Amino acid sequence: MATRQQPDAPEDEDELIPLDPDATLPPPDAAPPPQPPFPVEADGAAGPPPRRKLLHPMNRALPRTLFGRSLLIIVTPLVLLQVIATWIFFDRHWDIVSKRLAQAVAGDISVAIDMIDRAADEPTVAAILETLSRSANLYATIEQDAILPGGEQPWPDHNLGKKLTRAMNDQVRRPFRLDTETSETFVMIDVQLPHGVLHVIVPRSRLFTTTTYIFILWMVGSSLVLVAVAGIFMRKQIRPIIRLAAAADAFGKGRDVTGFRVTGAVEVKQAASAFLIMRERIRRQIQQRTELLAGVSHDLRTPITRMKLQLALLRRSPAVVDLEADLKEMETMLNGYLAFARGDGEEATVPVDIAALLTEVAESARRAGGTVTLDTISAETAVPLRPNAMRRALDNLVGNGQRHGGRVWLGTRRARRQIEIWVDDDGPGIPAGERENVFRPFYRLEASRNPGTGGTGLGLSIARDIVRGHGGDVRLEDSPRGGLRARVLLPCE
C-alpha cells in the first residue's frame, strides 16, 4: 500500500482556492497524459508561466467599481471643458477689465492734476480734491514743496501693478511712485507736481471686479449639480448589473435565486435573459440526469435482486459464497456511482450552524466506533448550505480519515470572507503528486481494487463535488498530527 508522507508545505489559510471547471475524466486505468513543456497552473490547466503585470500608477488611481468609472467618464470631459472655458474667459476677461479699471483710475488722476495746474488759489485746489474724493472715490492730498525719491521705480511683478503702471505712463506722463504692498485694501500713488507731491489713496474696489468670482462660482455650482444628476442616473443604470452579478454568484454557490427580474438597459436585459436561459438549461440537464439515473438504478437493481434470490435457493457452496460476495461488491459500487452522479442539487439551501454541524458529524462517527475529537470550534457562524449534502461530504472526509488512520480531529474557524473546516488524521498521508488524482472518480491508491480495503474511490470525489456546489473547494495538505489534512473552504457573507 502506498505511503502518504510528505514534507511540510507552507499553507495559505486565507486564500480561497480557484475552482476547476467540469471536465470529462479518463478511466482509472488510462495512461497519464503527456506533460506540457511548461508548468501546470494551480487550476489544473496547462499554460505558459504567468507574467507579472506592472500596473501603471494611473491605473491604480482609477476607481475599481463600474459606477465610479462610468461617472469618471462623464465627469472628466465636463470638468476639462469647464476648466478650459473658465481659463480662457478668466484670462481674457480679467485682462480687459483690469486694464480698463486701471485706465479709469489713471484718467481721473490725470484730470485732477490738470485742474490743479489751472487752479488760481488754495481754496480752488481744496475744492478739486474734495470733488475727486466725493465723485471718483479717490482720496488725495498735496504735500507742498515735496520731491519724490530719486531713482527709477522697479517694474511690478504682479498683474495689478503692471496694468496701473502702464496706465499711469500713458495718461499722467509725470514721475510717480506706486505702492501696492503696504495696505491690503488700498493702493497708494504719489505723483510729482511742480510745487509738491500729490498723494492719492485708491481703494482696491476700483481696481477689481467681482464678476469674475461670481462666474467661477456659477461654473463650479452648475458642474456639481450636473455631476449629482449624472450620479443618480448612473447609479440607476448600474443597479441591474449589480443584481445580475449577485444572482449569478448565488446560483454558482447552489442557492435559490428568487425575485430576480430582467430590468435595465437593452444590453443589461440581454445579459440577464441569457443568465436565466442558462440557469434553466442547467436545471433541466440536472433533472434529466437524475431521471435517467433513477431509471438506470431501477433497471440494474432488478437483475441484481433476481440473482440474489436465485443464489439463496441454491445449495451453499464455495462458488455460491463467491458469487454472493461479487454481487455485494457490485451493489456497493453501483450505490456509490449513483450517489456520485445523482448529487444533492434538489435539496433546499438554509442557514446552517457550522459548529452544530461538526458536532453532529463527530457524534455520528463515534457511534460507528470511530475516535473523533473536536479540535477547535469557532464562534457560532451560520452559512447558507444544503445541510444533508454538506453532512454527507464531511462524513466522507471523516470516514476516509478513519479508514487510513486511527484518530480524526475536526475543527473550524472563520478567515476573512470564508469558513475553513479541517479534518486531520494520524494515518500515513498521501504523496503530494497523488493529492489531485485521488479526487478523480474511482481512483484509488490501494492497488488491490478491493472495496473492503480501499473503498470504491468515490468518497473524495463526492465530497469535493458537494463543496464546489456550494462555491467552495477541498484541498489536501500535510496534517500537524502526522497524517493528512483535508481543508474545506466555504464562502460566507
Tens of pLDDT, residue by residue over 201-250, are 888 878 777 666 777 788 788 888 888 888 888 888 888 888 888 888 88
CA dist 19 and 21 (Å) reads 6
> Which pLDDT value is given to residue 370?
85
CA dist 153 and 176 (Å) reads 8
Domain-terminating residue out of 209, 230, 256: 209
Closest CA to 435 of 482, 469, 409, 474: 474
Cell of 285: 440537464
Mean pLDDT of 166-176: 86
- Using alpha carbons, list the distances in angstroms from residue 300 to 192, 333, 371, 382: 122, 12, 36, 40
- Alpha-carbon dihedral angle through residues 338, 343, 345, 348, given to the nearest 10 degrees: 100
For residue 76, which amino acid is it? T
Counted domains in the chain? 2
> Which pLDDT value is given to residue 165?
84
Residue 59 confidence (pLDDT) above 50: yes
Q: Is 323 domain-assigned?
A: no
Task: Tell me if residue 419 falls in helix, strand or coil.
Answer: strand
Domain-terminating residue out of 159, 182, 209: 209
> Which pLDDT value is given to residue 157?
63
pLDDT in tens, 76-111: 888 888 788 777 777 777 778 788 888 888 888 888
Mean pLDDT of 125-147: 86
In Å, how far from its chain's centre is CA 266?
A: 25
Q: Is 260 domain-assigned?
A: no
> Which pLDDT value is given to residue 318?
85
Closest CA to 16 of 491, 398, 386: 491
Using pLDDT thresholds of 50, 70 and 90, give the confidence band for residue 11: very low
Q: Is 137 domain-assigned?
A: yes
The CATH number of the domain holding residue 187 is 3.30.450.300
Q: Is 456 domain-assigned?
A: yes
Task: Tell me if residue 191 falls in helix, strand or coil.
Answer: strand
CA dist 199 and 186 (Å) reads 12
Q: Is 18 domain-assigned?
A: no
Mean pLDDT of 41-68: 58
Residue 200 phi/psi, 5-degree rounding, is -120, 130
19-23, 66-70, 386-390, range with greatest mean pLDDT: 386-390
The CATH number of the domain holding residue 437 is 3.30.565.10
Residue 491 phi/psi, 5-degree rounding, is -70, 145
CB 142 within 8 A of CB 193: yes
> Which pLDDT value is given to residue 56?
61
Mean pLDDT of 377-393: 80
Q: Is 453 domain-assigned?
A: yes
Using pLDDT thresholds of 50, 70 and 90, give the confidence band for residue 149: confident
Q: Is 56 domain-assigned?
A: no
Domain-terminating residue out of 209, 241, 268: 209
pLDDT in tens, 347-374: 778 888 888 889 899 998 888 888 888 8
CA dist 195 and 389 (Å) reads 110
Q: Is 454 domain-assigned?
A: yes
> Which pLDDT value is given to residue 386?
85
Using pLDDT thresholds of 50, 70 and 90, give the confidence band for residue 476: very high
Q: Which range has the worst mean pLDDT, 149-158, 225-234, 392-401, 481-490?
A: 149-158
Using pLDDT thresholds of 50, 70 and 90, give the confidence band for residue 252: confident
In Å, how far from its chain's centre is CA 392?
A: 34
Mean pLDDT of 7-32: 41
CA dist 473 and 488 (Å) reads 6
Q: Which range has the worst mean pLDDT, 164-178, 247-261, 439-453?
A: 439-453
Task: Tell me if residue 80 falls in helix, strand or coil.
Answer: helix
Q: Does this model's pTM top 0.95? A: no
- What domain range includes position 393? 346-493
